[in-house]
Amino acid sequence: MGFTPHGKHLIAGDWVAGQTTFTSEPAHGPAHAFSTGTPDLVDRACQAAEDAFLSYGYSSRADRAAFLNAIADEIDTRADAITEIGTQETGLPEARLQGERGRTTGQLRLFAEHIIKGDYLDRRHDEAMPDRQPMPRPDLKMVQRPIGPVAVFGASNFPLAFSTAGGDTASALAAGCTVVVKGHSAHPGTGEIVAEAIHAAIDKCGLHPGVFSLIQGGDRHVGTALVQHPLIKAVGFTGSLGGGRALYDLCAARPEPIPFFGELGSVNPMFVLPEAAKNRGAKVGEGWAASLTMGAGQFCTNPGIAVVNTGPDGDAFVTAAAEALKDVQTQCMLTDGIASAYRDGKTRFDNRNAVEAVLVTDSEGRSAAPNLYQTDAAAYLQDHALGEEVFGPLGLVVRVSGADEMETLARGFEGQLTATLQMDDGDTELAQRLMPILERKAGRVLANGFPTGVEVCDSMVHGGPYPASTNFGATSVGTLAIRRFLRPVCYQNMPDDLLPDDLK
């Protein structure tokens, strides 16, 4: 018998029903009713998170690592049920959900290993110098400490890896922060079963139940109440530019402003340098088409824009990309709203005289087919809308007249999650011109690859200058993500009995 959601919120260890409900809109399978979140539930969850922080924030790294591993174990125990409800709600294929579950449990276990090593604490000690002249120096110790309760917003496009027990939650819990999650209404059943796994891990490890709460969505006031709650000390968010910017502004307008770590979107430009275009332009075009349409283009690292020279080499790239896109079957999108926004984005390109349609398709309902357009650098730089993300399998090729115009275009891009160079040996000089520009524009710069597929590891950066994210000094993927939920504290002449265990 399959998993049937009960539709309740998890508030500090209790499954709580609401007075009103919303109904899920699965891609296939039965719809279910879920309790709608309220500001009162937000307050209860935040109060419990603060209570739990008084113990969890001072727990040992070994205990927190055991907790993270227990969550991963409990998720794996529910593997089949998670895949079933996840595929129904999102329309993603089973293999994608299984891979994403592996990424989710993998990053939980990675953070468990990371905090045991202790390097992230950045411990420093300047010993006292009582005889120093003209003034003595006190004994000074410094360590990174957790900031307090953290709010996490589930993402529409990653029901596991960026949602209930995803990277934001994993890194916050690893840091010693308690977490309140606002579930995404696109996959509430998936959120519920993962919350059950976290709840089971809390019981297994004997932790305060307020360490984690899940409040389902269904009402925009829930998100507003969560980021404005005075006990919340930071927010992790993955979503649209409009929604993220609104929440960011609310965080900044609080009596006590708090950091909003929002990953908001990117067009991830790919620059095909001249020698690469001449030697393998068609092959790069085929690879770009595959990356562009992976998962119906519903990745934040989707390479929506390709930059290539005018002339026959660039033509070969465009022709090969178009031919490859023609063979891509219609794919199911995550929600009806995302599918509608994709059609609106296509219309934006159709209505511009300076944009040439290379491959145009019609998409209906929740399905999406790829589209391809091209324009020139001058038109692109004059029309800001051409650089706005279209969430889905739509590509834009920007043709440039040579190295100088390619550099000018690179300078004109806004902040990005990624930027890619397709280059061969003869392209090194131009690549050297572009690198100082691109590393200021993007959090990750690639050579001869495609940005879809984000490795979860120590050196990964998934973030970038605005509007790619709201804090370009942070990453939402990889072990460096833990830094978002820590702050340095200095202890002066402090007796050992009063120091955190990590400094003793």
Cβ-Cβ contacts under 8 Å for 504 (sequence gap 6 or more): 496
Rounded to an integer, what distance in angstroms lies between the CA atom of residue 291 and that of residue 174? 32
* Other beta carbons less than 10 A from residue 141's beta carbon: 20
Helix (H, G, I), strand (E, B) or coil at 270: strand
**Residue 263 bears catalytic tag:** yes
Which pair of structure tokens corresponds to residue 244? 């993220």
The rounded distance, in Å, linking the Cα atoms of 279 and 403 is 17
Task: Using alpha carbons only, give the angle 301, 267, 482 rounded to the nearest 5 degrees.
Answer: 45
405 among known catalytic residues = no
Q: Order of strands across the sheet with 212-215?
A: 14-16, 9-11, 212-215, 179-182, 150-153, 234-238, 260-263
**Residue 448 CB contacts under 8 Å (≥ 6 apart), including other chains:** 276, 421, 422, 423
Q: What whole-number distance in Å separates Cα of residue 495 and Cα of residue 413?
A: 53
What Cα–Cα distance (Å) separates residue 468 from each residue in 227, 386, 430, 436? 20, 16, 25, 18
Gyration radius of the chain over CA positions: 24
Contact in structure between 300 and 469 (CB atoms under 8 Å): no
Q: Which of 46, 177, 251, 300 is catalytic?
A: 300
Q: What are the φ and ψ backbone dihedral angles of 360, each rounded to 5 degrees? A: -120, 130
Q: Tell me if 416 sits within 8 A of 307, measured CB to CB.
A: no
Provide the 8-state DSSP code for 122. -
According to DSSP, the residues that pair with 129 across neighbouring strands are: 137
DSSP, collapsed to helix, strand or coil, labels residue 422 as strand
Query: Catalytic pick from 89, 263, 275, 389?
Result: 263
> Nearest 5°: CA angle at 429, between 423 and 432?
85
Query: Distance of CA 33 to CAs 50, 83, 217, 330, 504, Å?
Result: 30, 19, 12, 29, 51
For 29-94, where are the E strands, in sequence order?
Answer: 33-35
> Burial of 408 by CB count in 10 Å (0-12 exposed, 13-18 middle, 19+ buried)?
middle
**What would the two tokens of residue 14 be?**
């209790």
Q: Is the dihedral of CA 450, 453, 456, 462 positive or negative?
A: positive
Active-site residue set: 263, 300
